[in-house]
């Protein structure tokens, strides 16, 4: 058996460290981890609850609106505030634009260079020329789409800024609703840009994905996930979570079921956290750092749903909504992401029609002396939850569980690996210099390590840190 | 090629109808072609960050990213774009560093993290040992011709250094010294970065303010350029976000922020935070976000030599001349850091949160110190330990619960 360490695994937001054990050419174990820790949960304590929206956005530059939405929902849940229907639509439009931006950027800038021959100048050289299967004509076509894709992701941020003020780190979504009232002028500009994006998705992104899926069809068998899916659901059509456009749900043991947030726990068995129990619920996680805990080897807690490892992201949303249930592989994830982009762009056109120009989007509120709230949403790359407690009108307790924590979690007390490690184990590696196969699998999850965190020690041991 | 004067006027032009970078790119490309040394080499190092500045840089794209990469700059290392993985990435970096020693421009995104000898941020494995972001920064910084810190985290610590700053994040200049050119912003507007880069390549180091920010972009008070300044002077204030008036009463940091957002605007739209009916949160300023939180709370009254000014009333009662004086006073105070200190103290959480958490984190460091011999090092001469000795750790500001900080002059005024 030999062990290889890959750091940095590139084309990921903040790099990923991956340690893989090979037996012959087959991966027999995989341990993934992020390498940077900032501590946002600690920063949030004692703050004015309204600050959570803008501060949480700073956790991640690519999914900042997702953190903004989750934080806002959690605070509003604690206040007991219901936003106006117009505000709910506006939020969906701002949030949708950021998701389009993420999906375009992920597919073209991050994932595509795994499959095409990139240009001959830095930063695209040095190149990995392993397993490039496209003809020159096909490659040229995709390269053209690559540069267009970069432009389009910028346009998606322009779309966001029409009602969101700026991007990344938007200003429009705030506790109480949104800050801009829709008007015909902005709606018109929004529609124009959105139509261009939808056309690009239809005319480039879908055929490009199809071409990659045809040429690399063996990746329908490589990188299979745990086969369990979780979605918190997203895009409320009215106030609250009563009517979500993307349904919440779980797919577990071959059955679809309703989501029960009460079944979400964080496992501490192999972490340096000591609390009253080995498993704790995020709302009242009382464990404290305990570097001397004998069974501990990591700072990263392992989130589980009914003690099961869950996969999430566009593929999970597609399985649970029933739009695409082909498989659980690397290529299925890429296809699901493209379909997700198309679906959301189409919905956005509908929401734009439903907007009532000139009608209120902000509801004034009082911050309560105490309260607690949960904000659940689907970030671009999977289920994101914020749990908040308010005491004396300040944030007293804040917990964040990101999709990255779910996907890249360490083993739990039952010895179950996280979703990404599960997908990597069993892969046959041909490219021993660059580990291209592993890169393709990992990137199909669209990982974001700004959203995770941990700490390495100089000896090379992994001292992982809990989220942020 | 543009003369420096033309360039400056282009950058500060009141209403840019299109992206500055868009206008400059062709010219920038020509200038680069004319230079014998070819495209300037850029090494982009990401430390403690959210990657938002890379995304913002990406947002410059008409046709920028393609144009920039193919004709303007030679980006030899940026892990968000590179093709290869792991040791191959590092080999590319080391080769560029060796070939272009003393000539490359180092762009740093994210804060330098000092906690535990820098080991909260590991950026590579070299010779089987982890290399900290801090050690890499020192190593690359030592051989760089210019260093640009992009974003507020890299410039001043920014959101990464938010109280209680668990990772002990600091700005790049705390490690590499005064030579660092700061282009803050959360994120940095693509124009601010590209414009600074253009100036650097063609005219050398731009004129800078007390915080090493190019005056070109950070030279004027945002408050003075705001479209809603008239509302301020007439005393018409928004009481909630979402109202189309002056945002001062709900926490706008425009009067202490030096940036050109009202003129430049964001993402090729006509929008920016105040345009979006929310307060400016002062994201380009040292001390952000601590000096800006609570974001939606009006900041304390300002003591000026003759009286304490309640700003919203001052606007109506004192007239525009006095307002100018107040503006000057703000500017003066910002340079002397007095106002900033007061603001930071009044905006920290009143009840310092969960000290047991921090204490525990401190405790971990105390009981588990990293032995000097095992310090990660990319170069034996430049170790993280070495860095720690040189770099003063940023003091975490703590306040007694419930204590209120009163500026001296304010107290004096209250006695009258």
pLDDT digits (tens, 9 = 90+) for B92-107: 999 999 999 999 999 9
Instruction: Tell which wins on pLDDT, B12 or B243.
Output: B243
Produce one character per residue of B171-208: b if its CB has 16 or more CB atoms within 10 Å, e if not. bbbbbbeeebbbbbbbbbbbbbbbbbbbbbbbeeebeb
Cβ count within 10 A of residue B125:
21
Collect all residues of chain B within an 8 Å Cβ-Cβ radius of residue A46.
Answer: 349-353
State how far residue B324 is from chain A, nearest Cα, in angstroms: 28
- Measured between alpha carbons, how far is A335 from A55 in angstroms, rounded to an integer? 33
Lowest mean pLDDT among A246-255, B5-14, B358-367: B358-367
In the block, residue with structure tokens 């706008």: B252
Question: Do the interacting molecules here have an ipTM over 0.90?
Answer: yes
Collect all residues of chain A within an 8 Å Cβ-Cβ radius of residue B276.
Answer: 163-166, 171-172, 179-180
Collect all residues of chain A within an 8 Å Cβ-Cβ radius of residue B66.
Answer: 147, 150
B88 touches chain A (CB under 8 A): yes
Instruction: Provide CB contacts within 8 A for B108, sequence distance 6+.
Output: B45, B46, B47, B137, B147, B148, B149, B150, B154, B172, B180
A362 touches chain B (CB under 8 A): yes
CB contact under 8 A, B46 and A465: no
Mean pLDDT along residues B404-410: 39
CB contact under 8 A, A5 and B86: yes
What token pair was written down for A38?
A: 């900032």
State how far residue A319 is from chain B, nearest Cα, in angstroms: 30
B408 touches chain A (CB under 8 A): no
Question: Is the confidence at residue B323, as pLDDT, over 90?
Answer: no
Res A32: pLDDT? 79
Res A328: pLDDT? 96
Question: Is the confidence at residue A87, as pLDDT, over 80?
Answer: yes
* C-alpha gyration radius of chain B: 23
A65 touches chain B (CB under 8 A): no
**Secondary structure, 3-state, B245-307:** CECHHHCCCHHHCECCHHHHCECCCCECCCCCCCCCCCCCCCCCCHHHCCCCCCCCCEECCCC
- Measured between alpha carbons, how far is B396 from B303 in angstroms, rounded to an integer? 26
Chain A with chain B: Cβ pairs closer than 8 A: 311
Cβ count within 10 A of residue A203:
12
B125 touches chain A (CB under 8 A): yes
Q: Which of residues 209-268 of B touch A (CB under 8 A)?
A: 240-242, 266-268
Most A CBs within 10 Å: which of B21, B73, B78, B80, as the mutation test of the A interface? Answer: B80
Collect all residues of chain B within an 8 Å Cβ-Cβ radius of residue A54.
Answer: 281, 289, 295
State how far residue A464 is from chain B, nearest Cα, in angstroms: 10
Helix (H) or strand (E) holding A198: helix A184-200
Q: Within 13 A of A454's CA, how many CA atoms are on the CB side?
A: 29
The answer to whether the CB of B232 falls within 8 A of the CB of B248 is: yes
Q: Tell me what the pLDDT averaged over chain A comes to.
A: 89
Q: Which of residues 75-114 of A touch B (CB under 8 A)?
A: 105, 109-110, 113
Instruction: Tell which wins on pLDDT, A135 or B201.
Output: A135
Of B58, B272, B357, the CB nearest to A42: B357
A9 touches chain B (CB under 8 A): yes
Of B281, B356, B370, the CB nearest to A458: B370
Res A33: pLDDT? 74
Strand pairing partners for A264? A305
Q: How confident is the model at residue B341 (pLDDT cuts 50, 70, 90)?
A: low
Q: Which residue of A has its CA nearest to B88?
A: A434
Q: How confident is the model at residue B14 (pLDDT cuts 50, 70, 90)?
A: very low
Q: What is the pLDDT of residues B247-294, one digit of tens each?
A: 999 999 998 899 999 999 999 999 999 999 999 999 999 999 998 999
- Measured between alpha carbons, how far is A142 from A115 in angstroms, rounded to an integer? 10
State how far residue B395 is from chain A, nearest Cα, in angstroms: 15
The answer to whether the CB of A91 falls within 8 A of the CB of A66 is: no
Mean pLDDT along residues A369-391: 95
- With vertex at residue B30, the alpha carbon angle to CA B24 and CA B31, rounded to the nearest 5 degrees, is 85
CB contact under 8 A, A10 and B89: yes
Instruction: Tell which wins on pLDDT, A192 or A457.
Output: A192
B278 touches chain A (CB under 8 A): yes
DSSP B98-123: HHTTTTPEEEEESBEE-GGGGTTBEE
Any idea what DSSP says for residue A254?
Answer: T
Q: Which of residues 4-43 of B touch A (CB under 8 A)?
A: none
CB contact under 8 A, A165 and B275: yes
Question: Is the confidence at residue B403, as pLDDT, over 50?
Answer: no
Res B346: pLDDT? 55
Q: Tell me what the pLDDT averaged over chain B comes to.
A: 76
Q: What is the pLDDT of residues B124-175, one digit of tens each?
A: 999 888 899 999 999 999 999 999 999 999 999 999 999 888 889 999 999 9
Any idea what DSSP says for residue B378?
Answer: E
CB contact under 8 A, B120 and A465: yes
Collect all residues of chain A within an 8 Å Cβ-Cβ radius of residue B281.
Answer: 54
Mean pLDDT along residues A97-122: 96
- Best CA proximity match to A448, nearest among A406, A412, A391: A406
Q: pTM score > 0.80 for this model?
A: yes
CB contact under 8 A, B294 and A50: yes
DSSP A31-72: EEEE-B---HHHHHTTS-GGGHHHHHHTT-SSSHHHHHHHHH
Q: Pick from A182-196, A236-250, B283-297 the range whose average pLDDT is largest.
A: A182-196
């Amino acid at each position: 058996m030999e062990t290889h360490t890959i750091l940095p695994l590139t084309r990921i937001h903040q790099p990923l460290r991956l340690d893989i054990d090979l037996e012959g050419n087959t991966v027999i174990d995989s341990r993934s981890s992020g390498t940077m820790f900032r501590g946002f949960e600690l920063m949030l304590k004692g703050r004015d609850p309204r600050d959570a929206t803008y501060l949480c956005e700073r956790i991640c530059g690519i999914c900042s609106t997702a953190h903004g939405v989750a934080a806002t929902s959690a605070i509003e849940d604690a206040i007991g505030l219901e936003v106006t229907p117009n505000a709910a639509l506006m939020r969906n439009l701002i949030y949708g634009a950021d998701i389009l931006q993420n999906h375009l950027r992920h597919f073209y800038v991050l994932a595509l260079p795994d499959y095409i021959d990139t240009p001959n100048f830095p930063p695209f050289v040095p190149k990995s020329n392993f397993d490039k299967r496209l003809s020159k004509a096909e490659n040229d076509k995709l390269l053209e789409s690559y540069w267009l894709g970069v432009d389009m992701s910028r346009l998606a941020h322009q779309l966001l800024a029409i009602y969101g003020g700026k991007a990344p780190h938007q200003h429009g979504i705030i506790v109480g609703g949104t800050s801009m009232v829709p008007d015909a002028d902005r709606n018109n500009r929004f529609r124009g840009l959105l139509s261009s994006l939808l056309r690009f998705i239809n005319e480039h992104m879908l055929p490009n994905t199809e071409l990659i899926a045809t040429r690399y069809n063996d990746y329908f068998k490589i990188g299979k996930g745990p086969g369990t899916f979780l979605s918190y659901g997203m895009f409320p059509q009215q106030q609250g979570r009563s009517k979500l456009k993307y349904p919440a749900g779980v797919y577990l043991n071959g059955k679809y079921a309703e989501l029960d947030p009460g079944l979400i726990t964080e496992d501490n068995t192999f972490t340096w956290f000591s609390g009253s129990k080995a498993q704790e619920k995020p709302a009242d996680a009382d464990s404290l750092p305990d570097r001397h805990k004998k069974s501990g080897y990591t700072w990263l807690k392992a989130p589980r749903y009914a003690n099961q490892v869950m996969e999430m992201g566009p593929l999970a949303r597609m399985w649970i909504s029933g739009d695409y249930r082909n498989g659980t592989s690397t290529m299925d994830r890429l296809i699901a992401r493209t379909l997700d982009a198309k679906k959301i762009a189409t919905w956005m056109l509908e929401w734009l029609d439903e907007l009532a120009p000139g009608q209120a989007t902000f509801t004034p509120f009082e911050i309560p002396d105490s309260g607690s709230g949960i904000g659940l949403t689907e970030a671009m790359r999977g289920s994101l939850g914020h749990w908040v407690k308010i005491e004396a009108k300040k944030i007293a307790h804040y917990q964040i569980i990101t999709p990255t924590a779910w996907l890249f979690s360490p083993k739990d007390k039952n010895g179950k690996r996280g979703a990404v490690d599960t997908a990597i184990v069993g892969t046959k590696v041909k490219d021993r210099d660059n580990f291209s196969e592993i890169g393709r699998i990992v990137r199909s999850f669209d990982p974001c390590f700004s959203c995770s965190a941990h700490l390495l020690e100089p000896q090379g041991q992994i001292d992982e840190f809990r989220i942020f | 090629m543009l003369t420096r004067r033309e360039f400056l006027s282009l950058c500060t032009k009141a209403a840019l109808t299109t992206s500055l970078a868009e206008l400059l790119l062709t010219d920038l490309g020509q200038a680069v072609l004319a230079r014998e040394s070819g495209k300037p080499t850029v090494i982009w190092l990401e430390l403690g960050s959210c990657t938002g500045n890379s995304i913002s840089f990406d947002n410059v794209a008409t046709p920028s990213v393609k144009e920039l990469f193919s004709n303007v700059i030679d980006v030899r290392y940026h892990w968000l774009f590179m093709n290869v993985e792991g040791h191959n990435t590092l080999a590319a970096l080391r080769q560029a560093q060796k070939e272009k020693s003393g000539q490359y421009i180092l762009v740093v995104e994210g804060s330098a993290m000092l906690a535990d000898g820098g080991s909260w941020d590991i950026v590579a494995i070299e010779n089987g040992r982890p290399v900290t972001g801090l050690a890499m920064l020192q190593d690359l910084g030592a051989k760089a011709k210019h260093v640009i810190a992009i974003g507020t985290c890299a410039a001043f610590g920014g959101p990464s250094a938010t109280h209680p700053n668990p990772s002990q994040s600091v700005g790049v200049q705390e490690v590499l010294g005064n030579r660092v050119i700061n282009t803050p912003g959360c994120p940095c507007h693509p124009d601010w970065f590209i414009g600074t880069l253009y100036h650097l390549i063609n005219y050398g180091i731009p004129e800078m303010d007390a915080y090493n920010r190019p005056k070109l972009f950070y030279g004027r008070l945002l408050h003075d350029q705001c479209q809603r300044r008239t509302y301020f002077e007439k005393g018409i204030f928004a009481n909630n976000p979402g109202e189309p008036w002056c945002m001062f009463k709900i926490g706008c940091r425009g009067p202490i922020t030096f940036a050109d957002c009202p003129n430049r605007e964001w993402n090729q739209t006509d929008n920016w935070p105040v345009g979006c009916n929310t307060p400016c949160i002062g994201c380009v300023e040292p001390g952000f976000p601590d000096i800006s939180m609570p974001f939606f709370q009006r900041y304390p009254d300002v003591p000026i030599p003759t009286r304490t000014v309640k700003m919203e009333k001052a606007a109506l009662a004192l007239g525009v001349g006095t307002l100018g004086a107040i503006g000057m006073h703000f500017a003066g105070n910002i340079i002397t850091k007095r106002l900033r200190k007061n603001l930071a103290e009044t905006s920290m959480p009143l009840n310092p949160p969960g000290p047991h958490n921090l204490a525990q984190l401190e405790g971990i460091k105390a009981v588990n110190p990293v032995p000097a011999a095992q310090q990660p090092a990319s170069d034996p001469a430049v170790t993280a330990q070495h860095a720690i000795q040189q770099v003063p750790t940023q003091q975490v500001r703590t306040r007694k619960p419930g204590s209120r900080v009163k500026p001296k002059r304010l107290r004096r005024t209250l006695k009258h």
